[in-house]
Chain A
Amino acid sequence: MTMDAKETAYHAQARQALLMHRVSTEGTDPDSLRVPSDAVQDVVQGLITTVEEKVEQIVPFWANSRTSDVFSGVLWRNLAARKNVTRYYLVPSGETTRAEVQRQVADDKAHQLTSLPVPVSGADAIPAPMNTLWLIDDCLVVRQEPGGGDQAPWLVTSRQAELTRARRLMRAAAARASLGLPAGPDLTASLLESAELLRISARLSCAGTRFIDEHDCAWYHGIWQYLRLFNMVSSPTWHTTFYLDKLRAAIHDRGARRILISGTADYTTLAFVLMAARDRFGKAPADLEVHVVDLCLTPLQACRWFADKHQIKIQTHQADITQEDDSQPADFQHPKPFDLVIADAFLTRFTRKSAESVLSRWWDLLRPGGGVLTTVRLHPRNEYPDQDNIDLDFGTECRVADPVDNFELRLRERAADWQDMLPIDLEELSRAGRKYADRMISNDLGDADAIKKTFEENQFELAEAVAAPVRGELVGTEYLRVVALRPGGGPVIAT
């Protein structure tokens, strides 16, 4: 072979290797290009010369983001002087960087760039992508792919499905920007902060809660807050109006001051109590006493973390609520009667017999006229996920029939867009989520009538018991929202 022929052959091999490298990184889709992160500024320089009318941008803005360095550069500002540039800053709801966001918005305005802060949570119906996305002239999408942090490649695409998704995300961002604060406690930022702390501490502090798992409840408490973040598990947020209305009425209208949270997976119920306790000036009654009792130390630590963060005093008790008073630890023996017991989705942790012990103990702990606020899952109302309304271009949830598979896939899909904000690896989260779905036991306490009867047989008067549909953890279901009173004194909640 001549030298020329050899050179030609070598070059052909090299070109082939390069082609395969490009296919490996970019795929074969001709409508999409993947650009390395260090080339994105060059892409922007090229794009701004071609913009005809408008650019809409979604830019995550959170504590550790570099968005202000990267995206407030002179390029977009220069363009904003000539074209319509609108930017939505996605801020995890409850984020403490609100002042920074407002400064950024004011700065943008000074440069004719329209920007709006948009509070987002992992539970939003249209999942917010916590990676930058631009929609240019309504015909080109440029976005950073999730999962690689600042080094992740950028996708430049004109695919119809991507355009449709981007348009819907922009509409959703605009709608959210105009909404007020959420009805319930704004916990997304707190959950982002504490979920990993609890996951780590659960390994040490979950010694086993016999009603969840006889040997170790770390699989439950350790992953709980991540599941909460993405609205995968039952929490008071599924019954926001019920809890807030009843708590506000009890605290502000009926003078409830001693409140016991009985069984809690984290601080969400506590956050509801504190939110309801505050008046319109943000002040809670000075004599409010909030106690939390749970068999496991981990949720008590979560409550203490939250209380410390908000500079509130609470009392926690590691105790078994099914036990008689004399068997309780010293700090929970013969307590002063409580005005209110609040326990979200707690009774189904127990068998019917043990649930009666819980009700009996609550009765003992309440003053005459004191009340129980709780929700109880109605197993007979379980139903399987509806697969009819699948949007192939956008929502991808509820595709597979097996509830545990479905749970894991839903968790992965919801967490995927947030993975750059999460301290846990997506694979680890996925495994832990499946373990939760596999092992979690919710006991069937019967239908609404059976549950009402159980309360009544344990000497409670039912002030309210209304069934309401919720999305459910593994399958759609209904919960009975219960207000039960210990007869005798002035009722803590109007009957």
Chain B
Amino acid sequence: MSQDQAQDQIRSPAPREEFIHHRSVVRSIARGQVPLKFAYAGRAAFTHDTYARTTGYREMMTSADHESRVLATAPCCGADVVDMAEIGPGNGAHSRVLLEHLHKQGLGIQRYLGVDFSAALLEISAGNLRAHFGDALAISTAVWDVESRPTSVIESWRPARGRVLACLVGHTLGNFEDPAGVLRNVARALRPGDLLLASVLLRPPAGPDEISMAAYCTAEFRSAALEPMIAVGMNANEMEFSIEYRDGTFVGEVTLPRGAQLDDVRLPSGFTFRCFMSRRFERADVIRLFARTGWALYAADVASDSDHMTVVASRAEELM
């Protein structure tokens, strides 16, 4: 059994997942940068679910309607696409809406694979999708840290014939440490001709003053952002959390007013580390990002009434 298959079978309770990531989170804190993926693992998945249900987050969620329309009108897309692999489905709320919109556009997805770093979040999303779609959608899940390496789980799951539609929507791409590395890993997990539907948020053309901080100024968001640190034993009341918009990126940082001891790591008083990062892209950067990571673009559309950009691409033969 491969490690991927073994991970696919992880359906253990949340504390198990926290235990797995404990050392990685402590090391990340000591390095000053905690990847956002830890904010979805273990118990944090439930906190994220709570946050995702708040109005602020839903407002920030990208438009499934736009994504489905751009995909349906892309010249590479056809009704033969019935197998979807979604990377980072969150709590499944956006996935459900997207699947419904795709159906309205004539794209009847029959098989669905959710892949995520967090087994706990996958349980939540798959549960929500099963509750909604029942037997109409064959749902599978698999754990995959898309930031670390490619995977064979999609290859194992894919149908004998036909293309796979991979989805990386809801601005997931902007939350990765290295979006280019992620797109390369996704390309390696697919076959040439497979499709990718992705969406990102763009920087406002008029500058940072137009950016709304509302979604990040809630108690739910703070709780969700601090979960990885709480999971390794830090006290939420002893972390000062701040968020600001710098050079096209929302950066959330924790400062420790009194220092802390984490396993064998001593964090001094005043120590600051990043625990949240979410990029806003320039349109040109998005085009280039896909083109240089092994994707042939078929559509790149910015919604007329928002800063939401949807990209439809096909995996090129060359692996970049």
Contacts and interface: CB of A to CB of B under 8 A. Distances in A.
Interface of A: 16, 19-20, 23-32, 34, 145-147, 155, 157, 159, 161-162, 387, 390, 392, 396, 399-402, 404-405, 408-409, 412, 416, 426-427, 430-431, 434
10 contacts: A23-B189, A28-B154, A28-B188, A28-B189, A159-B317, A387-B75, A400-B287, A400-B301, A405-B287, A416-B318
A440 to B, nearest CB: 15
B288 A408 contact: yes
Nearest to A146: B318
A430 B288 contact: yes
Given A400-B300, A405-B287, A159 B192 contact: yes
A155 B317 contact: yes
Contacts of A20: 149-150
B54 to A, nearest CB: 34
Contacts of B298: 399-400
Contacts of B154: 28
Nearest to A23: B150
Contact residue range for chain B? 20 to 34
B152 A16 contact: no
Interface in B174-188: 187-188
B297 A23 contact: no
Given A29-B192, A392-B76, A416-B318, 9 more contacts: A16-B2, A23-B151, A24-B150, A27-B190, A28-B152, A28-B154, A159-B192, A402-B300, A431-B288
Interface string B4-17: 00000000000000
B130 interface: no
Given A27-B319, A34-B319, A400 B191 contact: no
B193 interface: yes
Contacts of A31: 191
Contact of A408 (B189, B191, B287): B287
A28 B150 contact: yes
A145 to B, nearest CB: 6
Contacts of B299: 399-401
A341 B187 CA distance: 54
B296 interface: yes
Contacts of B240: none
Interface string B282-320: 011001100110001111110000000000001001110
Contacts of B187: 27
B75 A399 contact: yes
Interface-centre pick from B76, B191, B296, B319 (highest chain A CB count, 10 A): B319
A405 B282 CA distance: 12
Interface in B211-238: none
A141 to B, nearest CB: 10
Contacts of B247: none
B317 A32 contact: yes
Contacts of B261: none
Nearest to B1: A12
Interface string B180-211: 00000001111111000000000000000000
Contacts of B300: 400-402, 405
